[in-house]
Every structure is written in C-alpha cells, then in structure tokens.
C-alpha cells in the first residue's frame, strides 16, 4: 500500500497515493487536462506538451508536464493559469498548422478558441500523424514486437517500418490503429486478408472452425499461442464460439 | 617495460625516475598537433623537425614533441621552444633548418617568426608575453603544450595523478565533495549546476552500482574547447573522473565522445590503456580498496546527444532522445541507476581543486562563478582560437585585448555566446563581466563556451535564421514545441530575410519563442529561441527595416540588397568584369566607371569582394 499524500489542484485539496502522476490524480478527481500522447496502457512520454500545468513548490513556480510529474506532498497545482493557457494555445496552433485537416485536432482547437493557425496559409500542412508515438509505444510495450519505430530527427521525424519498407515483425494485431488519436493508421480486412497500409503489411486471417467467421490474423494468433504455450488447436475456434 | 604502481610511494618513485631521466635544460620543440594545426599540416612539420634533429646528430640534445593545442589557432602552425618559452607562429617546413641552426644551436631569435601585434607593431619573443596569452589564465590549457598527450610519463612529470593520490589517502569521499562544493565549481557543459552538489546527490542516491560519465559530445558549431582538452590532456580528464568516482562511490564510468573527434577518441583510448597498465585504472588503485573502470563510447553525430538524458539513452543503445528530469539522473540515470554526468572541462578542473584547495580555486572568478572558463573565440575577430579566462572578465577585454579586435577596421556589432541556442550580446553590453549569471541575465548563456564575434556586415535576422536552421535539423523531434515551433520560426525568418515579412511577424516570433522556452521537454528546446529572442531584444530595428522598408541594413539578405558602382571611386580597371558570373558588368574605358546592369545582377557579391578600391557599394 503506497503512502497517502495531500496536494492542491486548482484550489481543491486532494488526497492520493504516492507514485501517481499529476495527470492521473487530476483525472481521478474529475479535473480535465487535455493530452494527446497519453494513454493509460503505455508509459508516459511527454511529447505533445498539452498537459502542461503550473506547479509551485518551495515558493518556486514552473511549468511541468502533468503526465510525467509525480504527485508530491504539499504541491500546489494550477491547471489553467494564463501562462498555461497561452502555451497550450500556441501548441494547439502548431498542431493545427501541421494537421489542418484532421477532425480530432480541429475539434480540440475549436474548444480552445483556436480557429486558424497564425501562419501563412501556404505553409499549412495536411499531415494526419501528430508524432505522439503512441503506436510505437503500444507496439513495443504492450504487444512486445517493436515492429515500427520513430525514425529521423527534427522536422523529418516520422513513424515508419524498418528502412521505410515493410514491418516484417508486425503481427497484424492492430493495436497501433486502436491507440492512434487521429486515426491516421489505415487498416482494412477484405476477403480473409488484413492489410495495414502504413507499414506495407498484409496478413491471412484465421477462420473459425465453428462459425466460419474470420476473427484474427494467423500470425497474431500464433504469436499469442507461442507466448502463452497454448495447445496447437487452441485458436481453431474464435473467442465467441469457445 | 610496464611499471605497476601499487602505492603512493611507487607513484612518487616512478615520477622521480621519469624526472631524473629528463634534463631540464634540454631543448624541447613543442609543436601544436591539435586539430587546428593539423589542418595547417603540422604533422609534416613534426616529421621535418625530427629528420633535421637526427640528421644533425642532436637527438640527445633536442626533443621534438607533438603536443595538444595551446589555443592560438589563428597563427598556426605553432612552435614553442622550451625551456626558454620562445614562441614562433605560422611556422613552415622551410623554416625548420633555420630554427635548428639559429635558435636551437645559435641561441638567436628569428624575428620573422615572432608574433607582431598588428595594432601596435610590437614584437613578442616569449609565449607568455603575447597579448593573446598574457591576459588569459590558463589553468587547463596551459598544460597542453607542455606534454605529449599520448605519453602518461609526460603527464606524471608535470605532477599528474598526485591529486588522485591525495584524494584516495588523505581525504574521505565526504571531504572531497565538501572541497568541490566549497570551490564553487559549476558544470562547464552549459547548465552551470554546482558540481559538488551533483556529486553529493549521486553519492546519497540508493543503489550499489553508480556511474560517472564524461560528456565529450561537443556539437556546437565553432566550439572545440572540450575537443582540445580531450585531445591535448586526456589524463587530466581521467584523473578528475577517478576522483569523482571515488567521492561518489562509483566503480565504473563512460566517456562519451562524438565520433567526429577521431583524435580525441584515439588519445583518450591511449590514455586509458596506459593508466590501466600502470594500475591507475582497474582494481585496488594505488593499493587502496578503490577500483574504477572506464569505457569509451562513440557518439553518432546527433547534437541532442549532448543533453544528459539523451546521452544516457544513447549509451544504452537506444535512440538519443531526452526525457523529463523530474526524477534526476543522480537518482535514475543510465540503465535507471544513479549516474553523475559532467562535461570534459568540469572533470579537468577537479584535480586542480584537490591539489591546490578550494580556497585557492575560489579566489579566481566572481561571486557566483568560480575558476576559469575556456571559450572558442571565433568569427569576425583577429585572434581566433581557444581562450581561457578567469570568470568575470569583461567581454570587451576578451574581444579587443585577447581577440585583437575586429579585422579590417570594421565595426563590432555583437557577440553570440553559448552555442547555437545562446543569445547575442550587443555593443552596449560589452563591459559585461562574463560569468554564468550575467550571461543569463542579458538573455544569453554560458553554454559550453562558444563565442562568435560579428561585425557590421552581419545581419542579425540572417544570424538568427542560421541558428534556427541548425536547431530545427538537430531537434530530436520528440516534443511538439521544439519540432513544430522551430520549423515555423524558420519559415517566418526566411520570409523576413526574403522581403516577404509582414506586420505581426516579430510578435509571432516572440510568442513562439516564449512557448519554446516554457513548454519544451529539454534544454535544447527551451533555449532554442534565444538567438531569435535576443536579436529581437537588441536589434529590433533591424527586423523592422527588413519588414517595413524591405531593407537589410547589414547588406546581407540577397532579396533586399542592391549592388551599385560608386562612380567617383571606380577607375574602370575592369577587375570585376570577368569574375561576374552573369556578365552584368560592362567595361567602358580606362578611367571611366564600369556599368552594372541591375537586371542581370544575381547579387552574388563577387564584384564587391574583388574590388580593392571600395568602388562597389551595397544598399
């Protein structure tokens, strides 16, 4: 059992367990802080910076990312000061300039009062990926395959399969698709075959011996079967028919 | 023959025997073999001296020594003749026989090779009297040309590893930390964090395995002080690390050197092998219970890997990306274990502090910044090179007295300090005492010690654009403000320098800059806006001239300038006609000015550069 600590968020005294991040504590208590690169299933990363909050400790005030900052006894946290909002607005403008046509980003920007980015229209981009790294982290931390990664530096950074070719280690599980906040990873199941276009991979789907429905890529089922040492015929029937 | 040094007595006996074998009156020809002089071909010079010495049968009387860099790169190849300390500059192979006959054998000075102060016409014989060196305080760099960096015996001969012996046998780890804290030493890599405090928190951190790390990933354009220390005196860095490791309670370490520094990689590797052979690295060092091993790891050329957490990720074999430091690396660093990282120059200061004491060290410098700092003095300044000054020296003294002022009598404009993410400091602040806090106060920073001087022909908007261009490529791209913010800043700056700037651009740059400072993940991002913010702060009128008047006051931004012939000054010599790549200049007749066709001119500036009479103007 972790020790209980008390901190203040937006004027409210909150008791929580040591070891949680500020974002977790805030959300547990119904205080909404925006974040795009965060998902409870993977380690915090701190890339989108939208979850910035102002913390005061020992009379020193500074901005920190709430998804990474550990809750501490006596900490005073403000989630929406002028400084926080000014930064968040600029970050949103930068995001919108990168992903000017992505609905999730457009909606979020609108909520923050950003209608259009302050940059010349000819420089606006129509990228779909915000480089939050959730797909890469899910693939490595949850699935354990590390089939994709973030490549290149700076403005050339992108998510890619090895050597920008095919993701040979991909098992077709679709975790990356599921976790992506902007739905920019395109996956489709057609005629017993699954394709993930972004990583140039296709998989044969397994048909359930009872209901006859395709239910998962054979490679994924084999990966799970070996990892958990399951019998060879374990996935002959789908979870629904089992 | 390998001596294994098993005790302090062994070490002193070895030192005595090395010194006994050396005649203090023997002539030593110390030739700089640092990176700058290598480019001048100094290795051929070393070979030529060795040949000449052998040919004349002087091997017993003269030693030719390839040393590290003493700093005056502008004047390479550099030769110092010891024990007299005669300083010859711009030495060429043709000078070798004469130097041997006249100076070494004849005891005469060759006037031609002496340094002449271009401002006063005065000649200087002794290295220490040359104005470039005279005002420096060369605690660290001063040893560079006294030793061959590939010889541990040379380092022992000048008192090397004595500080280690004192630390191991006369001091407790706590006493060492207290001494370093009291000395006021602050990290030379950029952050300026108190070194002793960092050591103390790593010592106190839980865990049996702790690392000490040396950061030699010096990636700033134009900066090479860590390189010169690592190339020129690697044992000093090793000795500092050994003392730090003992104080912290660490038995293993890494030296992270960028692979673009081949000689630093080689020399530190040699130093480690030699120290291992002597038993100064390994188990029970000098017979104590302290053991320490160190490995060299080569960096792959990413600027961001100079950031401590990115460096540690890179050491782990991962992509070099920073992480938040809410939990300090002194608690969880490399491999999630307590780690103490200091930069090359910081480590090299440690033996001096242990040997001479905190009181001695803290006499040098200002209240908040103690000791000396090495700067790479480059750009539009007469004496480019490495300068080591006591903290607190006014900028004016560095630029004018040590640097010799601005070439060609041009006007000083600003100094950019602290590397690509430092800020510019204008003429009005030239009397600023240079230390950590003062540089930060005016919007710049110490950084690792880059110092780029600019003159009247440098456009401040163009300068800011250059650094932003560098940083947007070197940003790791992980966090949004750094990656996207720098990209947008570059676009705006590019528009301004191309004459497409609009009202509101300056304010938008300021807003972007403040977001970068406030919300970036690491120090690369949070400092990246400094060049833009300080050029706006001190040269706002120059930005406005570009935006409102479509004019580049420094005459740099191509889209905004016009070259023209000043008819009164042009004698029609025609020197500019042929070099013009677009045949935009027409020769009329002797004594009649040439004609420049603006429609054909591509503003390459060639005519401006070739004209010796100042008859080409730019507006």
Chain B residues with CB under 8 Å of A90 CB are: 481, 485, 511-512, 515, 519
**Same domain, yes or no, for B241 and B309?**
yes
Stretch 295-334 of chain B: residues touching chain A, C-beta under 8 Å: 302, 304, 319, 323-324, 326-327
Closest CA to A9 of A54, A51, A63: A54
- Write the CATH number for B516: 1.20.1440.230
CB contact under 8 A, A87 and B518: yes
A19 to chain B: nearest residue by CA? Answer: B327
Residue of B515, B525, B526, B529 for testing the chain A interface, max A β-carbons within 10 Å: B515
Which residues sit opposite A151 in a β-bridge? Answer: A158
**Same domain, yes or no, for B262 and B121?**
no
Closest CA to B191 of B320, B308, B299: B308
In this structure, is residue B147 part of a structural domain? Answer: no
The CA-to-CA distance between both ends of chain B, in Å, stands at 70
pLDDT at B2: 59
- Write the CATH number for B578: 3.30.70.20
Of A46, A119, A150, nearest to B488 by CB-CB distance is A119
Which residues sit opposite B425 in a β-bridge? Answer: B415
Residue of A63, A133, A136, A155 for testing the chain B interface, max B β-carbons within 10 Å: A155
pLDDT at A212: 93
Closest CA to B478 of B319, B321, B305: B321
**Same domain, yes or no, for B322 and B181?**
yes
The tally of domains found in chain B comes to: 5
pLDDT under 50: residue ranges of chain A: none
**C-alpha–C-alpha distance, residues A134 and A143, integer Å:** 12
Chain A residues with CB under 8 Å of B477 CB are: 131, 150, 152-157
Chain B residues with CB under 8 Å of A182 CB are: none
Please list, in sequence order, all residues whose beta carbon lies within 8 angstroms of the beta carbon of residue B148, skipping any fewer than 6 positions away: B65, B66, B67, B154
CB contact under 8 A, B479 and A47: yes
A119 to chain B: nearest residue by CA? Answer: B488
SS3 B425: strand
Torsion of CA A165, A168, A174, A177, to 10 degrees: -20
Q: Find how far residue B184's CA is from the centre of its chain.
A: 22
A51 to chain B: nearest residue by CA? Answer: B519
Using an 8 Å Cβ cutoff, are B140 and B344 in contact? no
Closest CA to A72 of A56, A60, A84: A56
In this structure, is residue B408 part of a structural domain? Answer: yes
Using an 8 Å Cβ cutoff, are A157 and B477 in contact? yes
pLDDT under 70: residue ranges of chain B: 1-2
Alpha helices in B404-479 (DSSP H): 436-441, 460-474
Stretch 563-582 of chain B: residues touching chain A, C-beta under 8 Å: none
In this structure, is residue B252 part of a structural domain? Answer: yes
SS3 B176: helix
**Same domain, yes or no, for B515 and B571?**
no
Using an 8 Å Cβ cutoff, are B146 and B67 in contact? yes
**Same domain, yes or no, for B292 and B434?**
no
**Same domain, yes or no, for B291 and B409?**
no
Using an 8 Å Cβ cutoff, are A169 and A146 in contact? yes
pLDDT at B1: 47
Tokens, residue B509: 């740059």
Q: Which domain holds residue B338?
A: 160-362
Contact of B486 with chain A, judged by CB distance below 8 Å, is answered with: yes
Chain A residues with CB under 8 Å of B470 CB are: none
Per-domain residue ranges for chain A? 4-80, 84-123, 134-236
DSSP string, B360-385: HHHTSB-SSSBSEEEEEEEES-SS-E
Stretch 174-233 of chain A: residues touching chain B, C-beta under 8 Å: none
In this structure, is residue B133 part of a structural domain? Answer: no
- Residue at a domain's end among B513, B548, B583: B548
Tokens, residue B349: 């200061």
CB-hemisphere CA count at 13 Å for A35? Answer: 26
Torsion of CA B424, B429, B434, B440, to 10 degrees: -50
Chain B residues with CB under 8 Å of A68 CB are: 324, 326
The CATH code of domain A4-80 reads: 3.10.20.740
Chain B residues with CB under 8 Å of A49 CB are: 479-481, 519-521
**C-alpha–C-alpha distance, residues B106 and B84, integer Å:** 13
Q: In Å, what is the CA distance from B219 to each residue of A112, B230, B311, B523?
A: 39, 14, 12, 14
CB contact under 8 A, A70 and B512: no
In this structure, is residue B151 part of a structural domain? Answer: no
Chain B residues with CB under 8 Å of A18 CB are: none
pLDDT at B191: 84
What b/e sequence results for A136-151 when a residue is b if at least 16 CB atoms lie within 10 Å of its CB, and e otherwise? bbbbbebbebebbbbb
SS3 B603: coil
**Same domain, yes or no, for B212 and B268?**
yes
B512 to chain A: nearest residue by CA? Answer: A90
**B585-586 and B595-596 beta bridge pairing:** antiparallel
Residue of B518, B521, B522, B523 for testing the chain A interface, max A β-carbons within 10 Å: B518
Residue of A64, A67, A90, A91 for testing the chain B interface, max B β-carbons within 10 Å: A90
Query: Candidates 3.40.1350, 2.60.40, 3.30.70, 3.40.1000; correct CATH number of A134-236?
Result: 3.30.70
Report residue B181: phi and psi, to 5°: -65, -45
Please list, in sequence order, all residues whose beta carbon lies within 8 angstroms of the beta carbon of residue B222, skipping any fewer than 6 positions away: B376, B378, B379, B450, B452
- Residue at a domain's end among B519, B548, B577: B548
Q: Mind telling me how many Å the CA of B306 is from chain A's nearest CA? A: 15
Of A52, A90, A123, nearest to B512 by CB-CB distance is A90
- Residue at a domain's end among B316, B342, B362: B362
- Write the CATH number for B90: 3.40.30.10
Using an 8 Å Cβ cutoff, are B342 and B215 in contact? yes
pLDDT at B217: 94
Please list, in sequence order, all residues whose beta carbon lies within 8 angstroms of the beta carbon of residue B580, skipping any fewer than 6 positions away: B606, B607
ipTM: 0.94
**Same domain, yes or no, for B464 and B508?**
yes
Contact of A133 with chain B, judged by CB distance below 8 Å, is answered with: yes
Q: pTM for this structure?
A: 0.92
Using an 8 Å Cβ cutoff, are B123 and B109 in contact? no
Please list, in sequence order, all residues whose beta carbon lies within 8 angstroms of the beta carbon of residue A32, skipping any fewer than 6 positions away: A26
CB contact under 8 A, A94 and B508: no
**Same domain, yes or no, for B197 and B120?**
no
Closest CA to B465 of B493, B441, B446: B493
Report residue B209: phi and psi, to 5°: -95, 125
**Same domain, yes or no, for B391 and B357?**
no
């Amino acid at each position: 059992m972790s020790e209980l600590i008390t901190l203040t968020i937006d004027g409210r005294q909150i008791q929580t367990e040591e070891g949680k991040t500020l974002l977790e504590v805030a959300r547990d208590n119904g205080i909404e802080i925006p974040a795009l690169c965060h998902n409870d299933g993977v380690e915090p990363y701190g890339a989108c910076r939208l979850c910035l909050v102002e913390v005061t400790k020992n009379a020193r005030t500074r901005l920190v990312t709430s998804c990474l900052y550990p809750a501490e006894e006596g900490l005073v946290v403000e989630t929406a000061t002028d400084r926080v909002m000014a930064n968040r607005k600029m970050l949103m403008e930068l995001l919108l300039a990168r992903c000017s046509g992505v609905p999730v980003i457009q909606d979020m920007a609108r909520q923050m009062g950003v209608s259009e980015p302050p940059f010349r229209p000819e420089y606006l981009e129509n990228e779909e990926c915000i480089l939050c790294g959730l797909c890469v982290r899910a693939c490595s931390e949850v699935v354990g395959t590390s089939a994709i990664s973030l490549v290149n530096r700076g403005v050339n950074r992108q998510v890619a399969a090895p050597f920008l070719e095919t993701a040979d280690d991909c098992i077709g599980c679709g975790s990356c698709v599921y976790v992506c906040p902007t739905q920019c990873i395109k996956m489709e199941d057609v005629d017993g075959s699954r394709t993930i276009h972004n990583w140039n991979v296709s998989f044969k789907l397994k048909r359930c011996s009872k209901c006859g429905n395709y239910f998962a890529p054979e490679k994924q089922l084999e990966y799970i079967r070996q990892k958990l040492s399951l019998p060879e015929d374990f996935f002959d029937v789908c979870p629904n028919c089992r | 023959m390998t001596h294994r040094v098993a005790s302090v007595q062994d070490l002193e006996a070895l030192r005595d025997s090395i010194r006994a074998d050396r005649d203090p009156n023997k002539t030593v020809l110390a030739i700089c073999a640092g990176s700058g002089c290598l480019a001048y071909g100094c290795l051929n010079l070393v070979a030529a001296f060795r040949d000449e010495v052998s040919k004349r049968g002087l091997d017993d009387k003269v030693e030719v020594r390839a040393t590290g860099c003493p700093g005056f790169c502008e004047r390479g190849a550099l030769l110092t003749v010891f024990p007299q300390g005669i300083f010859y500059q711009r030495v060429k192979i043709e000078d070798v026989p004469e130097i041997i006959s006249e100076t070494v054998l004849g005891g005469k000075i060759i006037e031609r090779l002496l340094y002449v102060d271009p401002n006063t016409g005065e000649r200087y014989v002794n290295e220490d009297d040359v104005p470039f060196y005279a005002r420096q305080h060369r605690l660290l760099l001063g040893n560079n040309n006294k030793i061959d960096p590939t010889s541990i015996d040379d380092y022992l001969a000048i008192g090397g590893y004595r500080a280690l012996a004192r630390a191991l046998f006369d001091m407790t780890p706590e006493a060492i930390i207290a001494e370093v804290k009291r000395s006021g030493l602050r990290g030379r890599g950029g952050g300026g964090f108190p070194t002793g405090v960092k050591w103390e928190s790593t010592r106190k951190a839980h865990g049996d395995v702790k690392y000490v790390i040396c950061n030699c990933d010096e990636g700033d354009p134009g900066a090479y002080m860590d390189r010169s220390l690592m190339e020129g005196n690697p044992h000093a860095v090793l000795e500092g690390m050994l003392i730090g490791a003992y104080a912290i309670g660490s038995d293993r370490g890494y030296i992270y050197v960028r692979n673009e520094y081949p000689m630093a990689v080689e020399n530190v590797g040699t130093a480690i092998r030699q120290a291992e052979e002597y038993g100064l690295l390994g188990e029970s060092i000098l017979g104590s219970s302290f053991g320490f091993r160190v490995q060299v790891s080569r960096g792959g050329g990413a600027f961001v890997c100079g950031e401590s957490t990115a460096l540690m990720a890179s050491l782990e074999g991962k992509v070099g990306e920073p992480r938040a430091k809410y939990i300090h690396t002194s608690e969880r660093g490399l491999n999630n274990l307590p780690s103490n990282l200091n930069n090359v120059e910081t480590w090299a200061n440690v033996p001096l502090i242990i040997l001479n004491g905190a009181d001695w060290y803290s006499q040098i410098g200002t209240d908040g910044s103690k000791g000396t700092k090495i700067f790479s003095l480059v750009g539009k300044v007469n004496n480019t090179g490495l300068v080591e000054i006591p903290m607190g020296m006014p900028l004016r003294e560095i630029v004018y007295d040590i640097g010799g002022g601005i070439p060609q009598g041009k006007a000083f404009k600003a100094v950019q300090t602290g590397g690509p993410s430092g800020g510019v400091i204008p003429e009005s602040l030239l009397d600023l005492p240079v230390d950590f806090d003062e540089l930060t106060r005016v919007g710049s920073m110490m950084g690792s010690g880059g110092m780029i001087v600019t003159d009247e022909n440098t456009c401040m908007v163009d300068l800011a654009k250059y650094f932003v261009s560098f940083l947007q490529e070197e940003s790791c791209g992980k966090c949004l403000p750094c990656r996207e913010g720098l990209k947008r800043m570059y676009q705006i700056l590019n528009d301004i320098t191309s004459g497409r700037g609009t009202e509101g651009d300056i304010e938008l740059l300021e807003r972007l800059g403040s977001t970068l400072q406030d919300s970036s993940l690491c120090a690369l991002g949070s400092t990246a806006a400094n060049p833009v913010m300080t050029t706006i702060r001190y040269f706002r009128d120059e930005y406005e001239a570009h935006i409102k008047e479509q004019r580049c006051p420094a005459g740099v931004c191509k889209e905004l300038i016009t070259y023209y012939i000043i008819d009164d000054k042009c004698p029609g010599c025609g020197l500019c006609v042929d070099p013009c790549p677009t045949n935009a200049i027409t020769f009329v007749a002797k004594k009649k000015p040439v004609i420049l066709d603006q429609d054909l001119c591509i503003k390459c500036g060639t005519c401006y550069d070739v004209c010796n009479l100042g008859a080409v103007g730019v507006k």
